Amino acid sequence: AQTVTQSQPEMSVQEAETVTLSCTYDTSESDYYLFWYKQPPSRQMILVIRQEAYKQQNATENRFSVNFQKAAKSFSLKISDSQLGDAAMYFCAYRSAFAGNQFYFGTGTSLTVIP
């Protein structure tokens, strides 16, 4: 089974600064997709950004961007110009192209934004 590892249980960033959250994964598949989800205190899971493994170009969504290193099986999330509303738990997720298309989640990184 695939595994997703987030080695930073907690991170903090000053408002308006940049922070990078780390994620690594283990797979033998060549076709897959990667995601970052945000979970604020409301518990709602919100999709932040997605990356197709076959694309070399890193995905970008406004202040959020990823550094996807396929050979290293690394998928980090960079948040620029951090805002108070970015404070949340962030989960990295791997989606197989097969086997019921299920997701595998990391254990999460709790991000605190300091005013």
Partner 1 sequence: NAGVTQTPKFRILKIGQSMTLQCTQDMNHNYMYWYRQDPGMGLKLIYYSVGAGITDKGEVPNGYNVSRSTTEDFPLRLELAAPSQTSVYFCASTRAGTLSSNYGYTFGSGTRLTVV
HSE at residue 51, side-chain half, CA atoms within 13 A, is 26
Instruction: Output the smallest distance, CB 12 to partner 1, in A.
Output: 17
Instruction: Output the smallest distance, CB 74 to partner 1, in A.
Output: 18
63 class by beta-carbon count within 10 Å (0-12 exposed, 13-18 middle, 19+ buried)? middle
Beta bridge partners of 25: 4
* Interaction of residue 64 with partner 1, rule CB under 8 A: no
* Interaction of residue 40 with partner 1, rule CB under 8 A: no
Where does this chain bind partner 1 (CB under 8 A)?
Answer: 1, 4, 9, 31-33, 35, 37, 42-45, 47, 50, 52, 91, 93, 95-98, 100-103, 105-108
